[in-house]
Amino acid sequence: MQSFTYDALPSRVIFGSGTISKLKSEVDRAGCRRALLLSTPEQAESLHQIAQSLGPLAAGTFTQAAMHTPTDVTERALKQVSECNADCTISFGGGSSTGLGKAIALRTDLTQIAVPTTYAGSEVTPIIGETKDGVKVTQRTLKVLPEIVIYDVDFTVGLPQRLSVTSGTNAIAHAVEALYAEDRNPVISMMAEQAIGAMGRALPAIVANPQDRDARSEALYGAWLCGVCLGSVGMALHHKLCHVIGGAFDLPHADTHTVILPYAMAYNAKAAPHADAAIARTLGGRDGTSALVELAGRLGSPRSLKSLGMPESGIDRAADLAVQNPYWNPRPIERTSLRALIAAAWAGEAPKTFD
Ligand code: NAD
């Protein structure tokens, strides 16, 4: 007999094409009058168009959001929050923009509306990672969960191919680890399997034709489900490795997830046979690891940490960091096997399973 605890996360989700047209009424519905709009510099132009469409509801824009939510950027954004007397934020973009909205909410409790344009999933998690003096500290608190999420497929059609692949694989990683999470439950496991299937169908179609709107829609739907998985249950070795390796060697977030995922799955496969079977079932393949490797091959994904710029001399340091304060994991964390995993991922060799 199974027993579990399931905490549903409160968020209002609007999904479709052209849904940005609902932004004004959603600001209104939330009882807000002065929105501060947030983006990275690269998405400033689109942000300004959205601000224009809001008319007087747009109190200001801040376009300096950056990867890993640096606290000095947050401080500058907070100044603008008070200068324009904002009563809500609208984060437009990927995890970097969403992260800034979360950092503001953490300090002010302002209502957040997220308009995600990647597959990172941060918009539906109560998780925030902030970086100060090069150190990233992550915490979980409902204070940072955006109240409203507007998924508009139209904004994802132009997501560059490589970012679509790596961001999509980053999303798959949330669902894979949800399948073997210590606190997993049947609802989230069902979502995880659905999510991996949706991404597994959508990403190859997007690689074949980035303008394929049905595939874009399925990927964004899958990304939502993957985000809910990340927000609802604990993550394990894969996320730990990505955080320490990405942080220590300043590697791009989604690319690091993309390279590590099959190796982390191989490490855990025998300790989590139900997860291995679910991935093989939904992606099609003889086991979970080979299904993920085959998908990466079809997507032309980055396959080695070396290609992302990690030095070979960093392998031992990465193994040392990975065994410190480990997350719960279905297979015990031990340095010799982890070092072998990291060395194989560095070189892009075939992932090995461990007993
Ligand atoms: P990102 O937000 O940094 O975006 C990468 C680049 O792509 C940026 O320049 C951005 O402007 C651009 N971009 C985004 N969408 C685009 C689009 N549709 N078309 C063209 N360009 C677009 O990348 P990300 O991978 O979405 O987010 C990574 C960050 O999110 C990291 O800091 C990571 O730690 C965080 N994250 C947090 C959580 C969480 O739950 N807290 C979950 C996932 C990721």
Nearest atom in ligand 1 to the alpha carbon of residue 68 is 32
Distance, in Å, from the CA atom of 171 to the CA atom of 308, rounded to the nearest integer, reads 19
For ligand 1, pick from 50, 73, 96, 157 the residue to mutate: most ligand atoms within 8 Å of CB. Answer: 96
In the predicted structure, residue 353 carries a pLDDT above the cut 90: no
Confidence of residue 325 (pLDDT cuts 50, 70, 90): confident
For ligand 1, pick from 112, 119, 122 the residue to mutate: most ligand atoms within 8 Å of CB. Answer: 122
In this structure, the residues whose C-beta lies within 6 A of any atom of ligand 1 are: 40, 42-43, 67-68, 93-97, 99, 117-118, 120-122, 125, 127-129, 155-156, 158-159, 163, 167, 230, 253-254
- pLDDT (0 to 100) of residue 352: 86
Give the closest residue (by CA) to ligand 1 atom 21: 159
8 A C-beta contact, residue 11 and residue 111: no
Average pLDDT over residues 175-185: 97
pLDDT more than 90, % of the chain: 94
Nearest atom in ligand 1 to the alpha carbon of residue 102 is 41
In the predicted structure, residue 134 carries a pLDDT above the cut 80: no
Q: How far is the CA of 99 from the centre of ligand 1 (A)?
A: 9
Mean pLDDT computed over every residue of the chain: 96
Both structure tokens of 239: 């996320």
Q: How far is CA 150 from the centre of its chain?
A: 16
Residue type, 305: L
Confidence of residue 128 (pLDDT cuts 50, 70, 90): very high
Q: How far is the CA of 143 from the centre of ligand 1 (A)?
A: 20
- pLDDT (0 to 100) of residue 61: 98
Q: How far is the CA of 188 from the centre of ligand 1 (A)?
A: 23
Q: How far is the CA of 40 from the centre of ligand 1 (A)?
A: 9
Average pLDDT over residues 4-12: 94
- pLDDT (0 to 100) of residue 1: 78
pLDDT more than 70, % of the chain: 100
Confidence of residue 24 (pLDDT cuts 50, 70, 90): very high
Q: Could you report the per-residue pLDDT of 208-260, keeping only the tens digit for each?
A: 999 999 999 999 999 999 999 999 999 999 999 999 999 889 999 999 999 99
Residue type, 152: D
- pLDDT (0 to 100) of residue 256: 97
**3-class DSSP state of 118:** coil
Give the closest residue (by CA) to ligand 1 atom 5: 94
Distance, in Å, from the CA atom of 231 to the CA atom of 228, rounded to the nearest integer, reads 5
Q: How far is CA 182 from CA 5, 128, 237, 331, in A?
A: 11, 21, 12, 11
Q: How far is the CA of 65 from the centre of ligand 1 (A)?
A: 10
- pLDDT (0 to 100) of residue 133: 84
Both structure tokens of 6: 């399931």
Nearest atom in ligand 1 to the alpha carbon of residue 163 is 7
Q: How far is the CA of 114 from the centre of ligand 1 (A)?
A: 12
Confidence of residue 2 (pLDDT cuts 50, 70, 90): confident
| Alpha-carbon torsion angle 318, 324, 329, 330, nearest 10 | 90
8 A C-beta contact, residue 185 and residue 247: no
Distance, in Å, from the CA atom of 140 to the CA atom of 151, rounded to the nearest integer, reads 23
